[in-house]
Amino acid sequence: MTASATSIGGFPLLHPVICGSGEPVMTEAGIRAALKAGAAGVIAKSVNENPAGGRQLDKADYMRLDADGAPTAGQGVSLFNRSGLSQRSTEDWFKAVAAIDRDARSEGRFVAASIVYASAEGAVSIASAARHAGLRVFELNVGAPHASEAAAGAIVQETDPDRLADLVRRVRAVTEGMQLWVKLTGLSSNLPALALAARRGGADAVGMMGRFMALVPDLETFKPVLGTSAAYGGGWALPIVCRYLALTRRAAGRELPLIGTNGVRSGGDVIRMALAGASAVEVVSVIMHEGFAGLTRVVTEMDSFLAERRLIFSDLIGQTADSLATYAEQPETPGRWRDFVPPETLAESV
């Protein structure tokens, strides 16, 4: 057992850095590269049953943005994109993913199947196919950001707790013996209630939160970058995710394992998500910016952080969340605002 070992409920992980679902792991070669780069596990690129979801991939486009929010041909710090789903047949894809999972298992790693939800019937039939293929982990994404812009019905976002509990219950019924992880949207402030609903439905863990939808005006053309609204992520998102992790931990207790995603760019960010309550994290953008070496960098940085301070990763989970106070609990600091305004504001009136 190493200092970075963790687990998602009863499912042990070598360490907390999972390669999340996305284009880098749309192929067998990509999945193997993520494992080779050191990922504790991989969530293979998502499918769904609606052909419109796969067709959307042909209209996908991507732009890296620099620190000023401008499109850049360089590495960039934020990713702005509209995505689509895998165009492989589900049966064929899950068979390939399961074969890699069998190899990964001998090293203590895993490869999971994933669906971006379009309908309850589709989710049930795809979850059954994942189990039939022999996969150990199924991730049900009910909150992909593209739902509002993709063809009607291609991607559905579930933000109603009762409907979500019902959906998860139906998927749980066909995934007996598998890990069922539910990934929630970033476009709702109702995340603690949604997490509780997923748990009620039988989820083993809850992931949060999906990226946000955004519009980026281009200062050269005055047109929208990529021509549409699209999903937007960056390191800036991490503190927002951390707050929802902490609120969810408070609502659901430490027994519900949380997986953090959206904004991890460094080993320090993995630790931050853990302190906010995450047992593990899913990273994708770092790989889109830096290649799979970015994943290795994140794992190495996290290991160094733990080694330098002689810390055990699992001891850190939720520490910051558990000391989160309310405004009302703060001591009074009269006049503190004066330290944060220009001197003119404090000049004597004439």
Ligand X SMILES: Cc1cc2nc3c(=O)[nH]c(=O)nc-3n(C[C@H](O)[C@H](O)[C@H](O)COP(=O)(O)O)c2cc1C
Closer residue to ligand X, CB minimum distance, 301 or 325 = 301
Taking residues 306 to 345 in sequence order and writing x for each that binds ligand X by CB under 6 A, - otherwise, the string is: ----------------------------------------
d(CA 16, CA 274): 9
| CB-based contacts of 146, cutoff 8 Å, min separation 6 | 56, 82, 83, 155, 213, 230, 231
Q: For the segment 14-53, give every residue that binds ligand X (CB under 6 A).
A: 20-23, 45-46
Is residue 183 involved in binding ligand X (CB under 6 A)? yes
Is residue 83 involved in binding ligand X (CB under 6 A)? yes
Closer residue to ligand X, CB minimum distance, 239 or 253 = 239
Taking residues 126 to 155 in sequence order and writing x for each that binds ligand X by CB under 6 A, - otherwise, the string is: ---------------x--------------
Is residue 56 involved in binding ligand X (CB under 6 A)? no
Nearest alpha carbon to residue 256 among 283, 279, 281: 279
Closer residue to ligand X, CB minimum distance, 7 or 266 = 266
Instruction: Report which DSSP code applies to 73.
Output: S
Is residue 186 involved in binding ligand X (CB under 6 A)? no
Relative orientation angle of helices 28-36 and 90-105, to the nearest 10 degrees: 20
The Cα diameter of the chain in Å comes to 80
236 residue type, one letter: W
Closer residue to ligand X, CB minimum distance, 236 or 309 = 236
Q: Is the dihedral of CA 221, 222, 223, 225 positive or negative?
A: positive
Closer residue to ligand X, CB minimum distance, 161 or 233 = 233
Burial (Cβ within 10 Å: 0-12, 13-18, ≥19) of residue 254: middle
| Residues across the chain | 350
List the one residue from 40, 77, 203, 284 that touches ligand X (CB under 6 A). Answer: 284
Task: By CB under 6 A, name the binding residues for ligand X.
Answer: 20-23, 45-46, 79, 81, 83, 85, 114, 116, 141, 183, 211, 233, 261-264, 282-286, 288
